Amino acid sequence: MNALQRPLFAIFLVGAGLLAAPAAFAQRTDSTSTVKPQLNTAPPGTAPRPVPAPNTPAPRQEVPVPVPPPVNEPVPARPSTDSPSGLELPSRPGVAAPPPPLRKYFLYTNFGLGYTSYYGDGQFNASIAPALGIRVSEKFSIGPGISYSYTNISYSDYNQQVNRYPPNVVSNNLGLKAFAQYMVYKQFFLHAEYEVTRTSAKYTYQGQAYDINRTLKTPLGGAGYRNSFSDRVAADIVVLYNFNDGVNTDGSSTSPYGQPEIRLNLLINLGK
């Protein structure tokens, strides 16, 4: 080779080498592309998220069972009308418990039984009279009522011969009344009544029957004693003086009650 051919040959070898290098690199890349490594793209310090197995049931959440309070633990008090806050303060030693609430209304029924005798004449009577009591205050009560009584008067021979009275007079009496009562000391009380009674008196005189209808007015006053069985029921014994005890000119009585009038009363408190 001459001097001009040598440089040209060197350039040819370099060009051939450059053409053969891309083909060899491509063949090497195809031989190693069957397995590609999996790169971890998670942030540093984070564990990979586990993938749950298919058809795996979710874990059950247990519901806590309420535990009842101990037996000896006091149950909180519930509010009431007497204690809206639900707190009951214990009573102090030596201090009496408060009295029960005063009920305003009560049923007051009396059973009367009386007998009186004067100058050989005698009068017997029995009665029943329910009333509705109203407490105006702790000690003072008033109320209306109705009454029924039976009276039998027998006269002495003197009155039959001299005054021409019948042997006896029987009457049935129905009336309206009002009473007032005042507690004086503990269970002792004063009692007053005023009654208007429609009476039907029957008697026989010298073989002839008579029927007399009259309106009688009877004021009564006295005292009594109360025995309480509970905060709802009590019994009274009452002794009353009859301010209109007498006899009319025809022999009939001026009052359906005797002298004195002794009664046994039953008291029943109403309401809560």
3-class DSSP string for the chain: CCCCHHHHHHHHHHHHHHHHHHHHHHHHHHHCCCCCCCCCCCCCCCCCCCCCCCCCCCCCCCCCCCCCCCCCCCCCCCCCCCCCCCCCCCCCCCCCCCCCCCCCEEEEEEEEEEEEEECCEEEEEEEEEEEEEEECCCCEEEEEEEEEEEEEEECCHHHHHCCCCCCEEEEEEEEEEEEEEEEEECCEEEEEEEEEEEEEEEEEECCEEEEEEEEEEEEEEEEEEEEECCCCEEEEEEEEEECCCCECCCCCECCCCCCCEEEEEEEEECCC
- pLDDT, residue 15, reads 62
160 domain-assigned: yes
**What is the average per-residue pLDDT within 88-115?**
72
**Number of folded domains that form the chain:** 1
139 domain-assigned: yes
259 domain-assigned: yes
Q: Which residue has the higher pLDDT, 37 or 234?
A: 234
- At 49, the pLDDT band (50, 70, 90 cuts) reads low
200 domain-assigned: yes
13 domain-assigned: no
133 domain-assigned: yes
- Report whether pLDDT(51) > 80: no
CATH classification at residue 238: 2.40.160.20
68 domain-assigned: no
pLDDT in tens, 251-270: 567 887 778 888 899 999 99
pLDDT in tens, 102-116: 778 999 998 878 788
Q: Which domain holds residue 216?
A: 105-269
**What is the average per-residue pLDDT within 21-44?**
53
52 domain-assigned: no
